[in-house]
A and B are shown apart, each in its own frame.
Chain A
C-alpha cells in the first residue's frame, strides 16, 4: 500500500504543474473543476499516477471524485493508500 502523504503530495504537485496553479492554492477541498481539470486531464493523471507508483489506479477514481480529499478517501477505501 502507498503512503498517504506521498500520494497527496504527488497529486498536489501534478495538479499544480498541469494547471499552473500555486501549490498553496491547492487545498484538500479545492474542487478539481475550479482548477480547470477536465476529463482528459483526469484520465492522464490516473495514468501518470499508475506509472509513478507502479500500481493499478483506475481512471474512474479520478473521475468520480471532486476533490483531493475525496480522491484520497476513495483510494484508501480501495486499499491503494494506507
Chain B
C-alpha cells in the first residue's frame, strides 16, 4: 500500500477493514493519482464534499459501460439496460431532472408520521421472534425484510409480493461494483426480467382499477405527463425505486446494529437514552457507509487541492475515508452518538443527493429502537462477515441470541 500509483480499492486486503489504509494514505496524500484505478483518489471531507457539489463533475453512466460490454459480446441485457437508464444516480442532465421529480413525488406522498408508524409496526413484528424463539439472524430476518416491507407498503404492494420482489432483486446491485463479472450482469438481467414482468402486470392493474398506493401515483403521474415513459421503462423505474429503497437501507440497519452490539458500553448508553438513536444512526452512516465510494468524470479541467485534473479524467470520491477525516470529525474512529458537526457524506450531495435519505434514517432509527426495546441480543460470532464488494459495505449475516 506504500505506492500511491498502485493503490487499488479492489485489493482483497481492504475488504474487512479498509479504514486504517485510508487513514495512512490520507495523511500522506489527501488527493493523488492512481495508475491502478486510472483515477484521482479523494480522501478528505473537504474535497469529497466539494466534488459532490460540483456540477462539472459528472456521474459515470454505468449503462454506457454495460452497453459496451454487451456490444462486444453481441448480447442484449434489455432489462438491465432499462434499469440503468432510469437509475438516477448514473444519469446526468437533461435526462436526470424529470426522472428525479417523478421519484420525489413518490417519496413525499405519505406523511412522515404515516411512514414512521408503518415502519415501527414492521420493525416490532420482525424483531418479535428474538424474544419468542431465543434467536435470529439480524440480517436475513430483520435488516433485509424491513425496508422491503416498507417499500412494499409505500408502493401499495401486498407483503408477499414485496418479499418476492425483494428476493428477485436482491443481489442485483452487485452490477454497481467495478469488477463485477459477466455472469453477474447476465444473472442480474434474468432477475430483472422477472421483476419487471411482475411490475408491468401491476402497472396494468393500476390502470384497470386505480388504487391508492404509490405505484398508482407513479402510473397516474406518468400517464398525465407530457413525456411519458412506456410501460417497460415505468416498470424499470418502479423496480429502481424499490431496489434503491431497500438495498442500502438494509446495509445501514445491519451496519448500525453491528456497531451497537459489538460494544457493550455503546449499546448501554443508547439503550438508556433513546434520544441518542438518531445520533447512533448518523454514526453508523459515518463509520460504515453502505456506499463506500463513487466515481465522477471531470467535464472540464479542474484544480483540486492543488492538483490539475484534466477534462475527461475520473475521480474516486472515497466516502468511507472522508467520513473519518480527523479534520472533519475529531477522534474519527470512535462511535459517539452525541457527536455534532459536519454532515456525513454517505448520502452524496449536490444534484445526486440521495432522495430517500430521510426515509433511510427513519427506517434505521425504527430498527434500532425496536432492537433496543427488546431483550438484549448477544452476537453469536465476534467477527462479522462483510460481503465481497469494494464499494458496498454490507454484512452477509449477524446471528444473535436473546
Contacts and interface: CB of A to CB of B under 8 A. Distances in A.
Interface of A: 33, 39-40, 42-44, 46-47, 50, 56-60, 62-64, 66
A56 B375 CA distance: 43
B179 interface: yes
A9 to B, nearest CB: 22
A26 B11 CA distance: 24
Interface string B1-23: 00000101011000000000000
Contact of B182 (A33, A59, A60, A63): A59
Task: Point out which of B36, B69, B177, B181 has the most chain A C-beta atoms below 10 A from its C-beta.
Answer: B181
B183 A43 contact: no
A64 B8 contact: yes
A39 B73 contact: no
Contacts of B182: 43-44, 46-47, 50, 59
30 contacts: A39-B38, A39-B65, A40-B69, A42-B179, A43-B69, A44-B69, A46-B181, A46-B182, A47-B73, A47-B181, A47-B182, A50-B181, A50-B182, A56-B183, A57-B181, A58-B179, A58-B181, A59-B179, A59-B180, A60-B10, A60-B178, A60-B180, A63-B10, A63-B178, A63-B179, A64-B11, A64-B36, A66-B6, A66-B35, A66-B36
Given A39-B65, A47-B182, 4 more contacts: A40-B68, A59-B181, A59-B182, A64-B10
B72 interface: yes
A60 B183 CA distance: 13
A43 B179 CA distance: 7
- Majority-rule SS of A interface residues: helix
Nearest to B36: A66
B179 A33 contact: no
A33 B38 contact: yes
Interface string B76-94: 0000000000000000000
Given A40-B68, A40-B69, A66-B6, A60 B36 contact: no
B73 A60 contact: no
A43 B36 contact: no
A66 B179 CA distance: 14
Contacts of B179: 42-43, 58-60, 62-64
Interface in B383-402: 390
Nearest to A47: B182
Contacts of A39: 38, 65, 178
A42 B182 CA distance: 11
A44 B183 contact: no
Contacts of B69: 40, 43-44
Contact of A44 (B6, B73, B177, B390): B73
B183 A40 contact: no
Interface string B150-180: 0000000000000000000000000001111
Contacts of B36: 64, 66
A63 B36 CA distance: 8
Interface in B218-263: none
Given A50-B183, A60-B179, A40 B35 contact: no
A39 B177 CA distance: 12
Contact of B181 (A40, A43, A66): A43
Q: Ordered nearest first, which 4 A-B pairs have the shortest CB separation? A: A47-B182, A60-B179, A64-B10, A63-B179
Contacts of B183: 47, 50, 56
Contacts of A40: 65, 68-69, 72
B303 to A, nearest CB: 25
A56 B181 CA distance: 10
Task: Point out which of A42, A46, A57 has the most chain B C-beta atoms below 10 A from its C-beta.
Answer: A46
A33 B34 CA distance: 13
A61 to B, nearest CB: 8
B6 to A, nearest CB: 7
A19 to B, nearest CB: 14
B93 to A, nearest CB: 25
Interface in B175-231: 177-183
A33 B35 contact: yes
A18 to B, nearest CB: 10
